[in-house]
Structure 1
């Protein structure tokens, strides 16, 4: 738990609150921080691949 990100921490808090019936949100909203984190990772990967392709074609 040393390198847990803020979005993962929010997900754990939201899951705990959902299971304890403190919040009545849908599971989509509870898991939204994880979905956002995954989406940002995919976007970062795509940008890196595009940059690598551009740099690779110039050589």
Structure 2
């Protein structure tokens, strides 16, 4: 975040990292933040699918 402030890809990758550490709540927060900025593309699809699977969105 400090090296690339405002870069949505950093936010997405933080979500991936949190997911890898089994921190769903943290991952969901980052994925949700990412989807506020980016709504299309493979990463957005991944983020949305995870949020849906985990019950954060309908």
- With normalisation by structure 1, the TM-score equals 0.37
Which structure has the greater CA radius of gyration? 1
- With normalisation by structure 2, the TM-score equals 0.37
Which structure has greater helix proportion?
Answer: 1
